[in-house]
Every structure is written in C-alpha cells, then in structure tokens.
Chain A
Amino acid sequence: MFVIEPHIHMIARTTADYERMARMHTVACCEPSFWAGYDRTSPEAFYDYFTHITTFEPTRAAQYNIDHYCWICMNPKEAEDVAFSREVIAFIPEFLEKPNALGVGEIGLNLNTPNEMTVFEEQVEVALKHDVLIWIHTPHLKDKLKGTRMMVDYLTGHGGIDPEKVCFDHCEEHTLKMVRDAGFWASMTIYPITKNSPGRVVDAIEIYGLEKMMVDASGDWGPSDPGTLHDAIFEMRRRGHDIRNVETVFYNNPCFFLGQSDKFKQKPTVPRQEAWAV
C-alpha cells in the first residue's frame, strides 16, 4: 500500500526523514506555506521561501522517489499586519504557476483577530480567481473551536465556494462535525501533545466514516515525526480494519482531493464511490 502525506513542512526536516518516508512507502508529500519560527522582516523573505518550496524541496524529495507538492500563501501567524500581507499576496499568483504548487494554503486563523480574517478572505479570493484548491489551517487549542466556526460560516455564506475544493486541517473531535456538515474535506493532524494522537484519528474515522477524511503528520521544527502518519496506519490495522479502508484514508482520499489539481500525479486505486462504500 502506498501512502500520501497531505501536510508536512519538509523545509524543517532532514534528508533522513525523506529516506524514512520512502522506506515507509510514502510516494508524495504536500508542503503548505507556514511560519518560520520567527516573523519575517520583509516580503522578499517570503519570496525566497516560496522559491525554496517550489524548487529545492521537490528536487530533494525526488532523490527518494517522493513527489513533493506545495501550497502558497501568507500564513495566519504572520497575517496580523494587513499591509505587509498584501505585499506578499501580490506575488502569490506567480508561484501558483509553478509545477508543484497545488493551491492557496495553509491560510486561516491563529488568534481569530479581524486582521487575520481580512487576510484570510483576500487569499480566498486569490484562490477563486486562479481556480485552485484551498488548504486551511485551523487555530490551536482554545482558539480552535471559535476560529473554525468563523471560517466555516464565512465560506458557507460566501456564495462562490465549492466545498469540494476546500480542506480544513488540524480538525479534532469538536470541529469535525461542523466542517463535514458544511461539505468540506477534513484532515486531522497527528502531533504530540497539542493535536491528535494516532488512536484519536482512527476513532474519528470510525465515527464519521471514510468520506472526505484525511490524516497528516504535519512534521515541522517542533516536536513532531513524519512516522506518526504510519503509526496511525498501524493503529487502524491493529484494530482489524479492512486494508481497503486503510488505503482509502491514507492514499485514495488524498488522491481524490489533491487530484482535483491537474498537477497532482498520483491516481486512486479504485473509484471514489467504491472506496467510500462500507
């Protein structure tokens, strides 16, 4: 069974992680734009970052037979300065043209401020204008419920959003229902201490089913591990779930969502309705 990692920040990982992922049958990974651990001091720093994830990372990944894709955006943690953000947003379209760029992301909220919301809304419009997918970051811990609600309400009231082309990431027990009821894709991040454990993501799959559900490890420079995605695969297997259902969550579903971009090369092993039939 092949595996797709829908969300990981490989810029923060060693080449040894690419090798580990390849040994664990990961064939593709997706890198959303994010915070660097410090606030950048100029828009040019973002330009360089976008250049890195559209050139160097795909080359590095290719050495391990992994296809590297990315998402371009002003991340929510640096979006409080609207004027600065607009300077970055101005050159996002240039990078959306790159062969590994799937869409706009991970846009979203951090502290749920009005300025963050403005930058979120303006980047949604960039995605719509260029007809690309959207990958959404939902806030951490106590801010997650309110922030997720704010974005779900905005997008459902927008009138021009196709929920099929939008994925809310970092979903947990208290946000999955609202995201799914609105018709969006949901991804769950395995991250020690602050997000999901392998056991809890499999619990959510049992409760909500296979449709429009993904799992990611979101490895970055914090305490995290690309191998936790495969821990979740093992967790689902040891509970006795059919291997076809495991493949749906960890390979076919990413193909169904990400494959809406012509740039995404991996193909599902079965049609969507067959994969989701339980």
Chain B
Amino acid sequence: MADQHPIPKLRSPKTGPELLDMYFLYARSHLLETASILDRIQRAPDGDKAFADPRIGQLIAACDIIKDTAGYRGERFQLLFSDPEK
C-alpha cells in the first residue's frame, strides 16, 4: 500500500519525538475508549452473541493494522471498513 504513495509533499515542521509528545495522551485516550467499549459490550446480556457480529471482527482486524509498521494505517483502516469497489 505504502509504495503506491508519493513521499509526503508538505514536510512536517515537527520531529517524530515532538509529535509523540503532542499526541501521546490523545492516542492513549482513543485506544482506551475502544478497549472499554469492547468490555462494555462483552459484559452486557448477550455480549457473547454481539462478539460473533462481523463488526467486532472488523474492529479487531483494525487493531492489527494499528500494530504493524507498514505505514498508511489510516488508509488501510478505511479500506477494511469499505465495501468492495466491484
């Protein structure tokens, strides 16, 4: 996926460590929200049934995208949640 894209055209004025400082708590909070939502569903009545829903599988697959280092995670995340083009 990443090799289909140009090198970013507008260079970030900030370094990676600076961006990590800016966004660490923001990213942490979003991941925590997702973890808590999954827990909320699981402990509810028929939580196991909900976990058989393909949408839960999509969310878990999205976590796998977040974990790998190939880049363009946002685009791959969007493609995971898209209907096929044809």
For chain B, what secondary structure do more than half of its interface residues adopt (helix, strand, loop), or is it mixed? loop
Known contacts A174-B79, A177-B5, A203-B74: A146-B84 contact under CB 8 Å? yes
B74→A173 contact, CB < 8 A: yes
A205 on the B face (CB < 8 A): yes
A128 on the B face (CB < 8 A): no
Residues of B within 8 A of A209 (CB): 9-10
A145→B82 contact, CB < 8 A: yes
A210 on the B face (CB < 8 A): yes
| Bound-state Cα–Cα, A238 to B10, Å | 15
A149 on the B face (CB < 8 A): yes
Residues of B within 8 A of A158 (CB): none
A207 on the B face (CB < 8 A): yes
Interface residues on A, range: 20 to 34
Smallest CB separation, B71 vs chain A (Å): 10
A207→B8 contact, CB < 8 A: yes
Residues of A within 8 A of B13 (CB): 239-242
Partner of B75, one of A143, A174, A238: A174
Smallest CB separation, B25 vs chain A (Å): 13
A172 on the B face (CB < 8 A): yes
Interface residues on B, range: 20 to 34
Known contacts A174-B75, A177-B4: A146-B85 contact under CB 8 Å? yes
Residue of A nearest to B83 (CB): A142
Known contacts A173-B74, A239-B13: A206-B8 contact under CB 8 Å? yes
Residues of A within 8 A of B77 (CB): 173
Residues of A within 8 A of B74 (CB): 173, 200, 203
B12 on the A face (CB < 8 A): yes
A278→B10 contact, CB < 8 A: yes
Per-residue A-contact encoding for B44-86, CB less than 8 Å = 1, 0 else? 0000000000000000000000000000101101110111111
Smallest CB separation, A112 vs chain B (Å): 8
Residues of B within 8 A of A207 (CB): 5-6, 8-10
Query: Would you mind naming 24 contact pairs between A and B with Cβ atoms under 8 Å apart?
Result: A141-B81, A145-B79, A145-B82, A145-B85, A146-B82, A146-B83, A173-B72, A173-B74, A173-B77, A173-B78, A174-B75, A174-B82, A199-B23, A206-B12, A207-B9, A208-B6, A239-B12, A239-B13, A239-B19, A239-B22, A240-B14, A241-B10, A241-B13, A245-B10
Interface of A toward B, CB cutoff 8 Å: 141-146, 149, 172-174, 177, 199-200, 203, 205-210, 238-242, 245, 278
Interface of B toward A, CB cutoff 8 Å: 4-6, 8-14, 19, 22-23, 72, 74-75, 77-79, 81-86
Listed from nearest, the 9 A-B pairs whose CB atoms lie closest are A209-B9, A240-B13, A174-B78, A145-B82, A173-B75, A173-B74, A206-B10, A142-B83, A207-B8
